[in-house]
Amino acid sequence: MSESGIIDYAVLIPLLPMLAFPVILFLGRIFNGTPTWVKNLKEGGIIALTVMGASLLLALAVIKEHMNSIGATNVFTWFETHWWEVDGALTDRVFGVGIYIDHLTVMLLFVAAFLCFLINIFSIGYMNTDPINDNRNHRFYAEFVLFCSGMLGMVLADSFLWLFIFWELMGLCSYLLIGFYYERPSAAYAAKKAFLTTRVGDVFLVIGLAMLWNMFGSLDYAVVFDPVEIAKVSSSELQIALGMMFIGAVGKSAQFPLHVWLPDAMEGPTPVSALIHAATMVNAGLYLVARMFPFFQAADIGSLSTLAIIIACIGGITAVMAALIAFVQMDLKKVLAYSTMSQLAYIFTGLGCALWFANNGYEELATFALGASLFHLFNHAMAKGMLFMASGSVIHEMHHAHHEVAHHEHDDDHHDDHHDDHHDDFDAQSMANMGGLANKMPITATAMFVGSMSIIGIPFIGGFWSKEGIIASAWKVALKEPVFLFPAMLVLIGAGMTGFYMSRMWFMTFAGKPKTDVAKHVHEQTPWIPIPLVVLTFMTLSAFILAGMHAGAWLGDYQSGHYSNFFSGVGEELQYVFLNDDPFLMVLTYVTIGLSFILGPSFAMALYGGSLDDDDEAKPWMQWAIDLSARVNKNSNFDNSAWANSSLAYSLEKRLHFDDWYDAAMLKIVVGFAYISAKFDKNVIDGVIKTIESTSQAASAKLRTLTTGSARDYIMMTALGTLAIFLLLWGVA
């Protein structure tokens, strides 16, 4: 299955950034600090941008060519080994490498290449204007492009083996970039935690791959997705193998119970949080699960429903748990981190539904659920990338403003050391220090506004279309399989919770009076940063186009060709959502909207709403929300201090104690046992050797005393010896 065309050059998409990695690193090492490097090349940022631009263009060309067709290059042999069959024959087993493109690849390729490019633009604004990054930005851009290479490679790979290879490469970059500020103990800790937690998942993924290989004799998609091959394997074994691989996905996508690393990963610079920990790498787990679809779809396979149910349940649990924790977070980025976790969980639930449908023979429903899940992945990546960049913009300007304020206050102490900013107690990320920024940062506030609406699922905007699809799918399964009531209920409740915590975040940051002096002095002034925000705002707002194109159906099954008529597509979609023939689904839609659009935001407004300073006026598309929130806030007089002081709130602030337990388990049990083992190794295993040694030394010391030097003793011994020999000979005879 190979054709020539642009796909032959697709290998360059990951290869270009990979080659840029050493280039930026070495050039940075050599030219660090020189004016050309800093001003013209933005400490490597321009090189990275060029490369990512080239990758994006190539990716777009590939996408255009393979919008409705599966493409694959020739498989090259990476290495070869043999297998000893039961009948005694030795057969060749090839580990190949190649490129495979289908609808799933196309979608993720676009998300990855597009966001890598945009976030690169953002980075140039964000990283190069912060004095703390002086002389180390080349390291940032080098690791950044290496990460992009990993993400693009993973999407394009034609086997689970290379998927895993690039998956680990991303893990490495994630580790390096979280620990970018290596001198901070918190960053070092967070980096280690992220790598180790995902590594636990990866171990199971490797085991799953080993099992899969033993079933199929290969990990290439072309082999394992062949229905003839799938028909030969036992479904229970396959289910276990896929389940093992799913644990890897749980680790990478930060799902319960391996979710603990993601909030800490916010220690990395904000562009890293936007790219790796919101928009791309965390989607790798979803991609892996979506890749399993053909196994479930295969006609001759037995029941794999248990795994589908587990996937959906993990999703449901995480969705609600993360949303709950997000209620109480004060750190802007941490709220977004938990939101990411929660939204990824939605997608897992949707994928669980799709897999269940596929496995039980409901082709059309499966296609719909898969499409909705992937569409949500798309919407979430766009919106969350934007939200993180916007939060970065806020934090960046807060830093600037703080510096200005501090500078004014201590005009006579010559503060030329910029690093002082980071020593004092002021927390530029805490929402408690913000408030009323809507008019001071109009672009950022708009981006946050639109992004939040997309995540909440406000009708017609971005995530609304896809989230409806996921919730509807979950309930459709629940009608057929009662166990699914659990995740279905959870995602429905989660929708309302999302409405609350996202609104809370927006109102705390942008509405109300400025809570600190610093917040009063914030301006939107850094170049480069607004560009991606504006682009993504339009991207999110125009998601209805994709919805109109029946993104769900297209992504799930590109062959159906629904997207031919755009207007009828939008009409159908609207009718499907709001005036469904099935009264159950119609009611469900309005319940969801009621929870996410009315109930959640209302509570948030009641608690955190408020008008801006008197002479300030936000842009009209936000002003109404601020006015409304002020009114709700005034009229409700809602007092939540009882909740805020409850033990539930305390344990939510403690992230439900998972981190404490894991730390304790690691430090007390594993490391404790390791120390005991090291002692045992030294004292007992080596002790035995030492005992042999000392015994033989003692024995030789004893024997040495026989050498007295006295002739009488020697004659005596000779006589005794001779006698002994005679006795021996006599005895033998």
**Contacting residues toward another protein, per CB under 8 A:** 77-84, 88, 90, 93, 161, 164-166, 168-169, 172, 175, 179, 182-185, 187-189, 191-192, 195-196, 199-200, 202-204, 206-207, 209-211, 213-214, 419, 666, 670-671, 673-679, 681, 685-686, 688-689, 693
Q: Which ranges of 253-362 does DSSP label H, i.e. alpha helix?
A: 261-264, 270-274, 283-291, 293-297, 305-328, 332-359
For another protein, the closer of residues 203 and 222 by Cβ is 203
Taking the complex as a whole, how short is the minimal distance between the CB of residue 187 and another protein, in angstroms?
7
Q: Where are the alpha helices (DSSP H) in 360-419?
A: 363-409
Q: How many CB atoms lie within 10 A of CB 77?
A: 11
**Tokens matching residue 673:** 């046992």
- The least CB distance from residue 128 to another protein, in Å, is 20
- Report in angstroms how near the CB of residue 381 gets to another protein at its nearest: 24
Minimum CB–partner distance for residue 155 and another protein (Å): 16
Written as six digits, the tokens of 98 are 């190649």
Pick 79 or 730: Cβ nearer another protein: 79
Q: Which residues make Cβ contacts (< 8 Å) with residue 82, sequence separation at least 6?
A: 90, 91, 92, 93
Q: What is the DSSP string of 523-550?
A: ----SSTHHHHHHHHHHHHTHHHHHHTT
Q: Which is nearer to another protein, 64 or 184 (CB)?
A: 184
Supply 441's token pair. 């940062």
Nearer to another protein, 578 or 673 (CB): 673
* Nearest approach, Cβ of residue 666 and another protein (Å): 8
Closest approach of Cβ 171 to another protein, in Å? 9
In whole angstroms, the minimum distance from the beta carbon of 251 to another protein comes to 11
Nearer to another protein, 184 or 408 (CB): 184
* Distance of closest approach, residue 464 Cβ to another protein, in angstroms: 39
Q: Is 640 helix (H, G, I), strand (E, B) or coil?
A: coil
As measured in angstroms, the least distance from the Cβ of 634 to another protein is 47
Helix (H, G, I), strand (E, B) or coil at 635: helix
Structure tokens, 355: 């897999």
Unique residue bearing structure tokens 């409901």: 362
Q: If you write DSSP's letter for every residue of 64-85 in order, what string do you get?
A: HHTSSS-EE-PPEEEEEEEEE-
**268 vs 496, which CB is nearer to another protein?**
268
Closer CB to another protein, 80 or 517, in the complex: 80
Tokens of 109: 């390729």
Residue entry with tokens 């690093």 = 419
Cα dihedral value 466, 290, 7, 21, nearest 10: 90
- Closer to another protein by Cβ: residue 202 or 524: 202
| Min separation Cβ 21 and another protein, Å | 12
Q: Which amino acid is at 344?
A: L
Nearest distance from C-beta of residue 89 to another protein, angstroms? 8
Give the residue with the Cβ less far from another protein, 160 or 558: 160
Cβ at position 336, least distance to another protein in Å:
25
Residues 6+ apart with CB under 8 A from 229: 216, 223
Beta carbon nearer to another protein, 209 or 336: 209
Residue 113 or residue 170: which is nearer to another protein going by CB?
170
Residue in 394, 588, 592, 622 with CA at minimum distance from that of residue 477:
588
Q: Is the dihedral of CA 166, 167, 169, 170 positive or negative?
A: positive
Distance CA(550)–CA(540), nearest Å, equals 16
Other C-beta atoms closer than 10 Å to the C-beta of 616 total: 16
Report whether the peptide linkage leading into residue 442 is cis, meaning its omega lies within 30 degrees of zero. Answer: no
- Closest alpha carbon to 150 in 177, 189, 118: 177
Please provide the size of the chain in residues: 733
C-beta atoms surrounding 442 within 10 Å: 15
- The gap from C-alpha 444 to its chain's centroid, in whole angstroms, comes to 24
**Phi and psi (nearest 5°) for 477?**
-65, -40
Q: How far is the CB of 20 from another protein (least distance, A)?
A: 16
- Min CB(669)–another protein separation in Å: 12
For another protein, the closer of residues 90 and 733 by Cβ is: 90
Residues 6+ positions from 16 with CB-CB distance below 8 Å? 51, 54, 55, 149
For β-strands 71-72 and 100-101, DSSP reports them as antiparallel
Nearer residue to another protein within complex by CB, 77 or 303: 77
In this structure, what token pair is assigned to residue 641? 């201090």
- Comparing CB distances to another protein, the nearer of 186 and 568 is 186
